[in-house]
Structure 1
Amino acid sequence: MNKIDARERALTGQTEQTLVGIDGMTAHLGELHEAIEHLRITRKTLLSLAEEPGPCPS
């Protein structure tokens, strides 16, 4: 049973480490999605401003 217990502890440790890694990658993925969304908003704003007529010359 010692080998089974040791294997179970090892697998449990690997599982916990993997879950921590997944949590970190999930957080990073969220940050990347947020950065992409900010770029899309910036692009949309700049294109909108470029389409607006400029001030009338005096």
Structure 2
Amino acid sequence: MATLLDKAQLFRSLHVPGTPVVLPNAWDAASARVVAHAGAPAIIHRRIAVAPAPRP
């Protein structure tokens, strides 16, 4: 199993000048599996991925 340091080094290696890192956002475990299966090198997850609309 990869250590936290291994994961950090892998994530850092994705940051190459001139090549943007595209991080897909997974909403739940199922969407994370789909994104991983599609070949994403990294996936982000946000508890609230869509900000609530301001109330008048």
Give the TM interval when normalised to the shorter protein. under 0.3
* Larger Rg computed on CA atoms: 1
Structure holding more helix per residue: 1
TM-score, normalising length: structure 1:
0.25
